[in-house]
Amino acid sequence: MSRLPLFGLSAVFHAYVGWRLVPALAGWSWASALLATMLLCSAVLIPMGLLARRLQARKLGEALAWAGLLFMGLFSSLFVLALLRDVVLLLAAVLELAWPNWLARQGLEMGSAALVPVAAALITLFGFMNARRTAAVVPVDVPIKNLPDALDGFTIAQISDIHVGPTIKGPYLDHIVEAVNRLDADMVAVTGDLVDGSVAELAQHVAPLARLSSRYGTFFVTGNHEYYSGAQDWIEELRRLHVQVLINEHVVLRHGAATLVVAGVADASAHHFDPAHRSDPYAAIAGAPRRGSVKLLLAHQPLSAAAAAAAGFDLQLSGHTHGGQFWPWNHLVPLQQPFTAGLHRLDDLWVYTSRGTGYWGPPKRFGAPSEITHLRLVRQRQ
């Protein structure tokens, strides 16, 4: 988006919040002035932060990105809470028609106007701390029908949606790699949206992936953000780091007397960027052993599940949704994806959707904590 529309949209949304809250705080002049100043800074810094990558001065660009994204997280909560306040005030006005003088209307308006920015600030502070910590390990048992004895207890460490970029750098990824390595998993799955930026910008910050260790190695599938960032360059870079990239293909792991087929598809939107990368679970499993094997699909978006179930997979690992990342956006995910987070069943297919191991945009997670998923295949009870 060009500069003018971006600044214009920012001004409109901020003006709405200012119109609804600042006059209501007139009785507390200091609070009114503080909120007005914050809204003015936010209205300018959010679009500047989004445009910061265009700057030649790297340090200035990073500082503006941090400031803009922090204010974006704060303003998101501020805007939603201001809307909810207006709903409450409308209901109070309707009730007042039936029961006049049942409450102190002026007190409600002033008190709620003060509560909104305080609540938004606390939510943003908690969300920031939650986003910047190293993701917690979430253990998940996946019951597989007719699981071979040798695969009972097979473990997969899944990381997803790290979004190395403006505010996530090498040290953040370092801590994730250390946590994954402590799991001593049989394999590591990286289910897309690793980066937000080019190889030239971020190669040094993604380098810690080379230290991931597991029995069978690390497998990667592209997410939509790889295609915004130069997917082919990132595929080559990841292979250089000894990460196996699966684009509509599979590998067969021989684990004792059993076979695990690990397949991967390109992101569901990949064909818009590269027609050769059209996501195809059928192509990914073509030629794989069918009988006596467990078939695992890595697919960035959960919406690949219907095709994966039809293709005969037993388990799909996905990300993309971030679990909504912070309230109330978790309630909008089902409008676009079949699953928001966690383990679900679709016919004979299990689908696990990670909430993500990093975050996108604002450094903020509220009601949807990040995760490193430690999945274990177990025999399904009859």
Percent of the chain with pLDDT over 90: 79
Work out the angle at residue 120's Cα, subtended by the Cα atoms of residues 115 and 123, and round it to the nearest 5 degrees. 120
End-of-domain residue from the set 131, 152, 175: 131
Kindly state whether residues 241 and 333 are assigned to the same domain.
Answer: yes
End-of-domain residue from the set 77, 103, 131: 131
In Å, what is the CA distance from 181 to each residue of 114, 160, 218, 268, 330? 46, 15, 11, 29, 30
- The pLDDT score that the predictor gives to residue 134 is 97
Strands (E), 120-248: 136-144, 155-159, 187-190, 218-220, 244-245
- The pLDDT score that the predictor gives to residue 374 is 98
Kindly state whether residues 161 and 306 are assigned to the same domain.
Answer: yes
Does residue 181 carry a pLDDT above 70?
Answer: yes
- The more confident residue out of 337 and 105 is 337
Instruction: Give strand pairing partners of 318.
Output: 353
Query: Using CA atoms, how far apart are residues 246 and 94, in angstroms rounded to an integer?
Result: 58
- The pLDDT score that the predictor gives to residue 285 is 96
Domain, as residue range, for 9: 3-131
Query: Using CA atoms, how far apart are residues 334 and 198, in angstroms rounded to an integer?
Result: 30
Give the residue carrying structure tokens 């790889």: 226
Query: Using CA atoms, how far apart are residues 192 and 362, in angstroms rounded to an integer?
Result: 19
Kindly state whether residues 230 and 364 are assigned to the same domain.
Answer: yes
127-136, 188-197, 229-238, 330-339: least confidently modelled range: 330-339
- The pLDDT score that the predictor gives to residue 56 is 64
In Å, what is the CA distance from 303 to each residue of 8, 107, 172, 351? 34, 48, 29, 10
Per-residue confidence band for 290, with pLDDT thresholds at 50, 70 and 90: confident
Does residue 53 carry a pLDDT above 80?
Answer: no
Kindly state whether residues 296 and 186 are assigned to the same domain.
Answer: yes
Per-residue confidence band for 87, with pLDDT thresholds at 50, 70 and 90: very high
Kindly state whether residues 153 and 267 are assigned to the same domain.
Answer: yes
The SS3 assignment for 71 reads helix
Residue in 212, 194, 161 with CA at minimum distance from that of residue 357? 161
275-296 average pLDDT score: 92
Work out the angle at residue 198's Cα, subtended by the Cα atoms of residues 194 and 201, and round it to the nearest 5 degrees. 105
- The more confident residue out of 45 and 57 is 45
Does residue 102 carry a pLDDT above 80?
Answer: no
Kindly state whether residues 105 and 174 are assigned to the same domain.
Answer: no
Kindly state whether residues 123 and 141 are assigned to the same domain.
Answer: no
The answer to whether the pTM exceeds 0.85 is: yes
Burial class (CB in 10 A: 0-12, 13-18, 19+), 98: exposed
Kindly state whether residues 235 and 174 are assigned to the same domain.
Answer: yes
4-8, 147-151, 298-302: least confidently modelled range: 4-8
Kindly state whether residues 150 and 273 are assigned to the same domain.
Answer: yes
CATH code: domain of residue 327: 3.60.21.10
End-of-domain residue from the set 79, 106, 131: 131
311-330 average pLDDT score: 94
Kindly state whether residues 140 and 123 are assigned to the same domain.
Answer: no
Kindly state whether residues 60 and 178 are assigned to the same domain.
Answer: no
Kindly state whether residues 220 and 289 are assigned to the same domain.
Answer: yes
Q: How many domains does the chain have?
A: 2
- The pLDDT score that the predictor gives to residue 103 is 62
